[in-house]
Amino acid sequence: MAGEIMDNKGRGVASWSWPSIHPEGRKFALAAAAISGLFAFMAWETLAWPMAALALGICAFFRDPQRVVPQDTNAIVSPADGLVSLIVEVEPPAELCVADGAGRRGLPSGPVTRVSIFMSVFDVHINRAPVGGTVSRVVYIPGRFLNADLDKASEENERQHILIERHDGLAIGFTQIAGLVARRIVPFVKPGDLIAAGQRIGLIRFGSRVDVFLPAGTAPSVLLGQRVIAGETILAQVGDQRLIEGIAQ
């Protein structure tokens, strides 16, 4: 299925398969499995079974399923799996707005809509690019490890800002935020990289959040409380300002 063109007319072949385990997690899973095997060999079954369960849990956490990414130039796709926990009007972070010293501009100043996606330990934690383009900056900021579901986590927690500039000059910024349990943000991209929408750009270990800053004049296509899927759910359509309402049921 990887790389195959799918469409809404039925083109392509859809089939279920076990998700792969990202290499970042394999070393942890193998270590837990090895310790479990050692405990089993020593007949310490009360320790062997919990370590075996831990190995399976690590594999589940670092699962990396394939996704079908919409090929729509106006679409901004979700960079993360999880719950839309906040939709607010904010000023973008200064790190995404200021000039980078090399003549490359950042996001324009002025309030924009920020969509926050909370990832629990049960969600896929591979993050994906919301749009295709060139990575113009990656800014890491050390900080605290507050509950990522809190609004102030955007300004106080350890985080990493990423700015992607499309071929038409439109820039989309988003932020990976470490949470209460998360202790490391792992990037897969660097400034200057050319990436496609939905491409894997990094992960955050063990529970966290991703903030997306929509362009001015663009409203979200998702609702507060909705669950989204990285690389597949359309978070917004550039220039679309329609009000969308939903009912929890």
Task: Give me the active site residues, please.
Answer: 208
- Distance separating alpha carbons of residues 203 and 87, to the nearest angstrom: 22
Tokens of 192: 């200057």
Give residues with Cβ within 8 angstroms of 238, minimum separation 6: 74, 75, 76, 170, 215, 218
Q: Using CB atoms within 10 A of its CB, is residue 186 exposed (0-12), middle (13-18) or buried (19+)?
A: middle
Q: In degrees rounded to 5, what are phi and psi of residue 209?
A: -155, 150
Contact by Cβ (8 Å): 173, 135: no
